[in-house]
């Protein structure tokens, strides 16, 4: 275990404050490319960043960074599907779009709306878990009580007044979240450097499997790197070329951040995933970095989970309204989203919700992959057979996640 040094806390705070100052610069905040990139980037490096380490350590041991790399590669494959559809399916008008395309798109919208239902439960259960962790409560019952209160409150606010008024918190929370990540990585890098120079870097040995069970758990963790698909729905603000380019940048940058973070976190792994409080185990893992790490993680978790839940509740409401031909209003969509999120909260643990969310999003990715394969096959583009095969592989990956993905608690 790396030596705990008071200097790590200083480095963490200074780096985080410096990153926050940089990320909130008006010139950067108002730059079109950054604005288009920040939405998918913030979604990808969201709550998954808080739970990835403990779950992957439990599943893959000291090879967790390889497992993380695999998840990022799977996400990049699905990202390629979405980028293809932005470039080649989205430009088709309703008159020129084949009926098969329209049918897949309609079912995709419904699948994504359901994925948002699950993710709202996921985000707000994590918010409750981290908020209660501040007072040393890890009881799942109380976590459900708090998350239910927040879900119901947001549903009522959305139904009565709409949620748009709360969205201004998103830019601030994104800056806080990314700056905290920068601080954590800087502190971990310093700690690793000290341990290497002192020849005290030791990786803990612990039991973990390498079979189908572990692979099934990994298949259920796609939610950790989900969020890139948001670029497809920013068409009112950005052109197709900008969205394609910034989605790719967001996926590449987030992959580097995730893999580096997991690699630097490896010396802190114990392999344990406690029966209660496992979703906040990152706080215990990083305690050697200093006492300040816990409050910083909790604060960032509250900010990021709240804004992410609002964004997905808005997305679900909008998709329900449009997919139903406006038989449902957006405000009715907020109530439906809250009701489904409440049902999920009381019927599943946080780790089961992670798998449900992964499967819901992967079902959407699978439909989009089928659409991309169909469109590519019917096109006259160069290398269309190779691209079609790639998109078909994404369909099979989606099926594998849907059929075999399981909870880390199993």
Residue 245 or residue 297, greater confidence: 245
Q: How far is Cα 366 from Cα 379, in angstroms, rounded to an integer?
A: 20
Task: With a cut of 50, say whether residue 410 has pLDDT above it.
Answer: no
Of 122-126, 142-146, 162-166, give the lowest mean pLDDT range: 162-166
Residue from 410, 397, 68, 61 nearest 218 by CA: 68
Q: Is the pLDDT of residue 4 over 50?
A: no
Interhelix angle for 330-347 vs 293-323, to 10°? 130
Query: Mean pLDDT highest for which of 41-55, 289-303, 347-361?
Result: 347-361
Residue 337 maps to a domain: no
Structure tokens, 324: 């139903």
Domain-embedded: residue 388: yes
The residue ranking higher by pLDDT, 379 or 245, is 245
Provide the pLDDT confidence category of residue 73 given band limits of 50, 70 and 90: very high
Q: What confidence score (pLDDT) does residue 1 get?
A: 47
The answer to whether the CB of 391 falls within 8 A of the CB of 372 is: yes
Mean pLDDT of the chain: 84
How far apart CA 143 and CA 140 sit, in angstroms, is 5
Residue 64 CA to residue 56 CA, distance in Å, equals 5
Instruction: Note whether 287 and 265 are within 8 A (CB).
Output: no
Burial of 204 (0-12, 13-18, 19+ CB in 10 A): middle
pLDDT of residue 323: 74
29/132: higher pLDDT: 132
Who has greater pLDDT, 4 or 308?
308
Is pLDDT at 208 greater than 60 in this prediction? no
By three-state DSSP, how is residue 350 classified?
Answer: helix
Mean pLDDT of 233-246: 86
Total count of domains within the chain: 1
**Is 184 inside any structural domain?**
yes
Give DSSP secondary structure letters for 154-222.
Answer: HHHHHHHH-SGGGTTHHHHHHHHHHHHHHHHHHHHHHHHHHHHHTT---PPP-----SHHHHHHHHTTG
Q: How far apart are alpha carbons 82 and 105 in whole angstroms? A: 12
With 0-12 / 13-18 / 19 or more C-beta atoms within 10 angstroms meaning exposed / middle / buried, residue 198 is exposed
Q: How far is it, in rounded angstroms, from Cα 393 to Cα 390? A: 5
Name the token pair of 32. 């079109």
Beta-carbon-side half-sphere exposure of residue 120 (alpha carbons within 13 Å): 34
The share of the chain scoring above pLDDT 90, in percent, equals: 27
User: Could you tell me the pLDDT band of residue 171, with boundaries at 50, 70 and 90?
Assistant: low
How many Cα atoms are found within 13 Å in the side-chain-facing hemisphere of 192? 17
**Which stretch of 3-7, 215-219, 307-311, 323-327 has the lowest confidence by average pLDDT?**
3-7
> Over the stretch 308-348, which tens digit does the pLDDT of each residue have?
787 788 778 877 877 777 787 878 888 898 999 999 999 98
Weakest mean pLDDT among 89-93, 323-327, 388-392, 398-402: 323-327
8 A C-beta contact, residue 369 and residue 387: no
Is 139 among the domain residues? no
What pLDDT does residue 159 have? 83
Considering the domain boundaries, does residue 251 fall inside one? yes
pLDDT surpasses 80 at 119: yes
Tell me what pLDDT residue 272 has: 67
Q: Give a yes or no: residue 219 inside a domain.
A: yes
Instruction: Report yes or no on 23 lying in a domain.
Output: yes
pLDDT at 352: 86
- DSSP reduced 3-state for 234: coil
Percent of the chain clearing pLDDT 70 (strictly above): 90
Q: How many CB atoms lie within 10 A of CB 165?
A: 10
Torsion of CA 128, 133, 138, 141, to 10 degrees: -30
pLDDT at 70: 93
Predicted pLDDT at 164? 63
Q: Is position 283 within any domain?
A: yes
pTM of the entire structure?
Answer: 0.86
Given a cut of 70, whether residue 303 has pLDDT beyond it is: yes
Domain of residue 14, residue span = 6-116+165-308+358-404
Pick the residue with more confidence: 389 or 356?
389
Among 74-83, 143-152, 157-166, 200-209, the range scoring the smallest mean pLDDT is: 200-209
């Amino acid at each position: 275990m790396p030596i705990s040094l008071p200097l790590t806390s200083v480095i963490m705070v200074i780096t985080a404050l410096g990153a926050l100052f940089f990320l909130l610069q008006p010139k950067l905040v108002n730059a079109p490319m950054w604005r288009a990139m920040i939405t998918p980037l913030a979604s990808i490096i969201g709550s998954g960043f808080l739970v990835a380490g403990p779950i992957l350590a439990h599943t893959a041991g000291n090879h967790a960074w390889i497992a993380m790399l695999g998840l990022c590669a799977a996400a990049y494959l699905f990202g390629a599907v979405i980028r293809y559809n932005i470039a080649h399916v989205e430009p088709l008008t309703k008159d020129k779009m084949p009926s098969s395309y329209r049918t897949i798109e309609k079912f995709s919208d419904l699948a994504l709306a359901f994925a948002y239902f699950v993710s709202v439960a996921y985000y707000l259960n994590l918010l409750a878990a981290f908020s209660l962790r501040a007072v040393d409560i890890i009881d799942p019952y109380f976590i459900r009580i708090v998350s239910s209160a927040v879900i119901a409150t947001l549903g009522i606010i959305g139904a009565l007044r709409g949620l748009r008024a709360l969205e201004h918190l998103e830019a601030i929370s994104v800056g806080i979240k990314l700056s905290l990540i920068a601080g954590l990585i800087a502190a971990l890098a310093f700690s690793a450097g000290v341990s290497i120079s002192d020849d005290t870097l030791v990786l803990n040995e612990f039991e973990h499997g390498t079979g189908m069970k572990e692979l099934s758990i990994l298949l259920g963790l796609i939610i950790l790197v989900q969020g890139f698909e948001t670029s497809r729905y920013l068409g009112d603000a950005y052109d197709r070329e900008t969205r394609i380019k910034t989605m790719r940048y967001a996926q590449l940058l987030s992959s580097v951040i995730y893999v580096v973070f997991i690699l630097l976190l490896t010396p802190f792994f114990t392999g344990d995933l406690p029966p209660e409080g496992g979703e906040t185990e990152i706080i215990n893992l990083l305690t050697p970095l200093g006492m300040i790490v816990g409050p910083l993680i909790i604060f960032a978790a509250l900010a990021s989970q709240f804004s992410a839940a609002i964004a997905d509740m808005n997305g679900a409401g909008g998709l329900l309204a449009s997919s139903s031909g406006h038989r449902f209003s957006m405000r009715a969509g907020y109530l439906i989203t809250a009701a489904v999120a409440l049902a999920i909260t009381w019927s599943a643990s946080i780790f089961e919700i992670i798998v449900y969310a992964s499967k819901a999003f992967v079902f959407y990715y699978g439909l989009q992959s089928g659409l991309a394969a169909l469109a590519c096959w019917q096109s006259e583009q160069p290398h269309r057979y190779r691209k079609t095969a790639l998109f078909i592989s994404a369909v099979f990956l989606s099926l594998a996640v849907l059929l075999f993905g399981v909870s880390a608690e199993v």
